[in-house]
Amino acid sequence: MKKELKSFFKKNPSRAFKAKEIAQRLDILSDHDYAALKSALHKLIEESFLSKAGKKLKLNTIPASNRIIGSLQVTSNGYGFVAPESKDIGDIFVAARNIGTSFDGDKVEVTLLAKQKGKNLEGQITSIIKRKKVEIPGTLKKSKSFYFITPDDPAIHKDIYIEQSKLKGAKKGDRVIVSNIEWDDSARNPEGEIIEVLGKDGLLDTGVIALAREFSLNYKFSINCLNEAEKINSKIQPEHLEERVDFRDANVFTIDPVDAKDFDDALSVEKLKNDNYKIGIHIADVSHYVKSGTELDKEALERGNSVYFVGRVIPMLPEKLSNQVCSLVPNEDRLTYSVIVEITQQCKLVDYKIIKTVINSKRRFTYEEVQQIIETGEGDFAEDILTLNKLAKTLRKKRMQSGSFDFATPEIKFELDENGKPVKVLKKEVKESNMLVEEFMLLANKIVATHIALPKNGNPRPFVYRTHDLPDQDKIYEFSRFVKTLGYTFDPNSNSKSIQFQKLMKEVKGKEEEALINELAIRSMAKADYSPDNIGHYGLGFKYYSHFTSPIRRYSDLIAHRLLLHYNNGNKKNPYSYAVLEEVCDHVSLCERNAIEAERLSVKLKQIEFLSDHLGEEFHAIISGITNFGIFVKITDILAEGLIRLRDLEDDFYVYDEKKYSLIGKASKKQFRLGDKVNVKLVRVDKGKSTLDFIIVD
């Protein structure tokens, strides 16, 4: 009961509840259970986990100690928040003047101040325990008699001075890496030395390396790792085929983006005599080549996943494996781990097998080629593709009826010239061909997780699940309040919020506010991550879900393959203890979040680079944020975000109304609201700070 209550209050950190309301929320009906609830609440008050105000109880966010350890996050405006190591304390606001000599991401000690800032505690950083970034990329500049770099990271607000003796041959305008940073006085600038010259600013590889260093991503493999990869024999030996099911004569094919180089998955379909279908979901058998404890394995674990920048990829595995030996390229025999599914025409699961196989892909399709076959009914393997598409649509419909929902956040793609400069920006379209592949990957992942969690014989075994927790109720209320201002309805008290999300996503499909509402809906959700403890996947509506289908680019999938093989072979001893799995899950979850941040920044920098040639041009946009210093707008067609500064709204004096998500003119009563459509002109591009400034045009 105490554990359940702790989880409940952590999900609702800022709200107070009466005991009866808590009982209602937790479906506690009997007198016996209600008495247990009251007893547990009393103990949590004694332990100072909860505080009491009258008859209401809330999470106690006032820490016992005045000095707290946590991680600093600095905003582009200079102030920051410290996320305490203790999960029982909320974020602590730190004004710019109180950040001292800390950088974004540093592990710091913060002392609480007497006053508070809004809902947050307020503090002052008193010491730096550990620097997150020991290497900082930036562009070398010169001002009269001294050199300095402007860091690429906009959250680092200070230029770093470089003595001439520490330039390491770098010239003005070079992209460089600075380290050995000394900074003990916030009134002065930090000083450092150049440890690596990346090359001239503006080149694609230079930018990618700088991004990789900024996010502490390994973009080079060790010599030992590369040597190990080179020793792998790509030729399949006869003994490798023992106990594998042979699919080399079947119509197996891959479907991937046009620029893909690593092909993790392939599909096959066969109609059975009983009119059911046998679907083969064939996944690269990376675990056959990458053994636990090897240099390849150690580096793959450290990276956690591949990272996809605009125009370049930092792979989890060396190219010998990711693009050659393991990649399911056409007309080559490849070892695979397959989920073979028998389903009815209505997509009812009849039977499945998870088995080692060998395939020979007959065709490498792009999404565009498959889409054309779907639309015309003609082309290579048209019958197979049309059958798979029909089944995928049925699977998707059933998934939606079971409570799954998709936030189809719009994405963009760039056309680059030979130097990596963006010459065109296009919105990615999600079509039936994309959804075809997605449905069968989801099916395989769900089957694998269920196979472990609900075994036909014996008890569940330790595994790596892909989990997604229930949303925070306060965030759902806030989201509901926001969409109401745009004329949409969302019931935050509904017992089936997934149906509410489905309905809303359908309503906004294709509208200008779709991207904004999708983004805010995602923010209201818990983050998906990896865990050895299965809690289900809320967004997909699955009780059991894992990642199995991308072992070339995700370490979680590689672990899943190893565990499956071990268990399916009837081995009793677990190859990974629960503690090791927990550690791996935490690590790969962290790697994933870091990669997402890096990839987003890569896109943002290319958007800014593209728009730097479009100063003075007008764009259609939607208001994506309202603050007390201005309006954030997102350009509708290329999804770049910028700021209209309050000082540039010259027609009136505007006041920020937080409750209405609005800026309101004092004299005219004119309003700028979140979600409003506006026409804007690009007036400033600051590549150093990664910012775009716009003004409103009629």
pLDDT at 129 over 70: yes
pLDDT at 61 over 70: no
Q: Is the separation of the CB atoms in 697 and 681 below 8 Å?
A: yes
Give the model's pLDDT for residue 117. 47
* H or E element, residue 212: helix 204-214
* Cα torsion through 279, 285, 287, 289, rounded to 10: 170
CB atoms within 10 A of CB 237: 8
Residues 317 and 355 in one domain: yes
Residues 519 and 573 in one domain: no
Give the model's pLDDT for residue 479. 87
List pLDDT tens digits, range 133-168.
888 888 899 988 889 998 887 778 889 999 989 999
Write the CB contacts of 493 (distance below 8 Å, at least 6 apart in sequence).
Answer: none
Residues 535 and 580 in one domain: yes
Exposed (0-12), middle (13-18) or buried (19+): which is 624, by Cβ within 10 Å? Answer: buried
CB atoms within 10 A of CB 245: 15
Residues 372 and 485 in one domain: no
Tell me how many domains the chain contains: 6
Exposed (0-12), middle (13-18) or buried (19+): which is 552, by Cβ within 10 Å? Answer: buried
Residues 279 and 402 in one domain: yes
Share of the chain above pLDDT 70, in %: 97
Share of the chain above pLDDT 90, in %: 52
Residue 85: which pLDDT band, with cuts at 50, 70 and 90? confident
Pick the more confident residue, 457 or 260.
260
Pick the more confident residue, 498 or 412.
412
pLDDT at 600 over 60: yes
Whether 606 maps to a domain, the answer reads no
Residues 329 and 430 in one domain: yes
pLDDT at 619 over 80: yes
Exposed (0-12), middle (13-18) or buried (19+): which is 329, by Cβ within 10 Å? Answer: middle
Whether 498 maps to a domain, the answer reads yes
Side chain identity at residue 478, one-letter code: E
C-alpha to C-alpha distance for 492 and 689, rounded to whole angstroms? 38
| Strands 174-182, 191-200: pairing kind | antiparallel
Which of 37, 59, 81 is the last residue before a domain boundary?
Answer: 59
Average pLDDT over residues 269-283: 97
Residues 285 and 413 in one domain: yes
Give the model's pLDDT for residue 88. 60
Whether 82 maps to a domain, the answer reads yes
Pick the more confident residue, 444 or 205.
444
Give the model's pLDDT for residue 591. 95
pTM of the model: 0.82
Residues 422 and 508 in one domain: no
DSSP letter for 305, please: B
C-alpha to C-alpha distance for 225 and 475, rounded to whole angstroms? 45
Side chain identity at residue 449, one-letter code: A
Residues 447 and 479 in one domain: no
Tokens of 24: 């209602």
Give the model's pLDDT for residue 115. 55
Q: Is the separation of the CB atoms in 696 and 644 below 8 Å?
A: yes
* Lowest-confidence pick of 7-16, 183-192, 233-242, 628-637: 7-16
Residues 239 and 333 in one domain: yes
Give the model's pLDDT for residue 248. 97
* Lowest-confidence pick of 10-19, 113-122, 393-402, 550-559: 113-122
Give the model's pLDDT for residue 241. 93
* H or E element, residue 601: helix 578-611
| Strands 465-467, 17-18: pairing kind | unpaired
Residue 65: which pLDDT band, with cuts at 50, 70 and 90? low
| Strands 174-182, 630-635: pairing kind | unpaired
C-alpha to C-alpha distance for 274 and 148, rounded to whole angstroms? 74
Whether 400 maps to a domain, the answer reads yes
CB atoms within 10 A of CB 241: 16
List pLDDT tens digits, range 374-423.
999 999 999 999 999 999 999 999 999 888 887 767 789 999 988 888 99
Average pLDDT over residues 62-76: 78
Give the model's pLDDT for residue 74. 87
Q: Is 185 left (phi over 0), alpha (psi -120 to 50) or beta?
A: beta
Residue 628: which pLDDT band, with cuts at 50, 70 and 90? confident
Q: Is the separation of the CB atoms in 141 and 172 below 8 Å?
A: yes
3-state secondary structure of 555: helix
Write the CB contacts of 575 (distance below 8 Å, at least 6 apart in sequence).
Answer: 292, 562, 563, 566
C-alpha to C-alpha distance for 424 and 619, rounded to whole angstroms? 15
List pLDDT tens digits, range 301-315.
999 999 999 999 999
Which of 579, 600, 621 is the last residue before a domain boundary?
Answer: 600
Residue 475: which pLDDT band, with cuts at 50, 70 and 90? confident
Tokens of 453: 């969690």
Give the model's pLDDT for residue 326. 97
DSSP letter for 322, please: I
Residues 336 and 409 in one domain: yes
Q: Is the separation of the CB atoms in 25 and 41 below 8 Å?
A: no
Whether 117 maps to a domain, the answer reads yes
Torsion sign, CA atoms 246, 249, 251, 254: positive
Give the model's pLDDT for residue 64. 59
Most confident of 112-121, 280-289, 415-424, 680-689: 280-289
CB atoms within 10 A of CB 239: 7
Kindly report the length of the chain: 698
Domain of 646: which CATH number? 2.40.50.140
HSE of 579, CA atoms in CB hemisphere, 13 A: 0
List pLDDT tens digits, range 182-223.
998 888 899 999 998 988 776 778 888 888 988 889 989 999
| Strands 465-467, 618-627: pairing kind | unpaired
Pick the more confident residue, 112 or 552.
552
Strand partners, 254: 364
Angle at 140 between CA 134 and CA 141, to 5 degrees: 135
* Lowest-confidence pick of 205-209, 646-650, 653-657: 205-209
3-state secondary structure of 239: helix
pLDDT at 84 over 90: no
pLDDT at 255 over 50: yes
Q: Is the separation of the CB atoms in 509 and 410 below 8 Å?
A: no
Which of 59, 78, 98 is the last residue before a domain boundary?
Answer: 59
Q: For the chain, what is the radius of gyration of the CA atoms?
A: 27
List pLDDT tens digits, range 359-379.
999 999 999 999 999 999 999
Q: Is 298 left (phi over 0), alpha (psi -120 to 50) or beta?
A: alpha
Give the model's pLDDT for residue 561. 97
Whether 216 maps to a domain, the answer reads no
Give the model's pLDDT for residue 147. 93
Range of the domain at 153: 136-201
Whether 218 maps to a domain, the answer reads no
Output the average pLDDT for the chain: 89
Helical residues (DSSP H) of 335-408, grouped into ranges: 367-376, 382-401
Residues 499 and 628 in one domain: no
Whether 99 maps to a domain, the answer reads yes
Strand partners, 176: 138, 197
Q: How far is CA 493 from CA 25, 259, 500, in A?
A: 10, 44, 10
Residue 607: which pLDDT band, with cuts at 50, 70 and 90? very high
C-alpha to C-alpha distance for 325 and 378, rounded to whole angstroms? 32
